[in-house]
Amino acid sequence: MPEANYIYLGDTARLPYGSKSHETIARYAVSSAKFLQDQGAELLVIACNTATALALEDIQQAVPIPVIGVVQPGAQAALASSTKGETSGGKKSAILNEVLGAPGPDSGTWDGPPQLSPQTEVLVLATQATVQSHAYTRALRTLNLEAHEKACPLLVPLVEEGWINHPVTDEVLKIYLQEALTEAPKAQTLLLGCTHYPLLEPAIRRTLATLNHPLTIIDSAHATAQAVVAHLATKNPAEKASANRPTETAKNCTFYATDSIEKFERLGSAFLGQPVTRVRHIDLRE
């Protein structure tokens, strides 16, 4: 959505969230949400699976603006993949958009999830805290999908270290995926339940190929972006049209970090695919 104004906060001083307690994660996430609201945010996206899994309700109660997390969109994208696994290219994308924009369980027009085979399994890679919350198990179960959650506590530190293409990272992925596939051998969909993991997607694909077990990979972050478009389109149909005009540069972006601006600029550039500069340092005192 190139016409939108973006305010991004990276809580670099207190990461990783995935190894912390529920109470600590909720406290950190709420303070971040309030800061973004104070900067003028009108819609809040929780760009973190752990914060979504453990603090979504706390954040919704703390700020009076709409809040979108990454768990439910990721689960619905897995549903789209599972129900239309043999659908190709553009049609599959259209189906995914339809699913993400469709009425949910809280809607008065919700008719319930489609009836799927009980063998429909989704493998979820996530942080320890996200797995312990079982947020994806609950979200997928409402869609008649069975979740197999695998905690991967070493992956976020490896990404933060910049070891995206590194033999150590490949070996760690191999161990995690072997263990996960042993527990869920029938899984055909792999859901990346952490917004750090998309940077590892090429390495994950390589590892799955060496294990001779290809999977359809779902990026919960990408699904959330589509959910944001669908949300805004309900209020202004022009928003959906504008989102169909991709841009190579993110305009009107303001970046904040709670620590290590240099590291944020380096990793942010890798995530965004373009230079991230002029990051502002802030101190979120508790």
- Annotated catalytic residue: which of 48, 125, 159, 230? 48
- Annotated catalytic residue: which of 194, 217, 225, 229? 194
Euclidean distance between CA atoms 55 and 170, whole angstroms: 31
152 part of the active site: no
Pick left, alpha or beta for residue 244 (phi over 0 → left; psi -120 to 50 → alpha; otherwise beta).
alpha
Q: How many alpha carbons lie under 13 Å from residue 120 in its C-beta half-sphere?
A: 20
Looking at the DSSP assignment, which residues form a beta bridge with residue 177? none
Euclidean distance between CA atoms 55 and 28, whole angstroms: 9
**Gap between the terminal Cα atoms of the chain:** 33
CB contact at 8 A, 72 and 140? no
194 part of the active site: yes
Euclidean distance between CA atoms 112 and 126, whole angstroms: 26
User: Omega of the bond prior to 153 within 30 degrees of 0, cis?
Assistant: no
Catalytically active residues are 48, 194
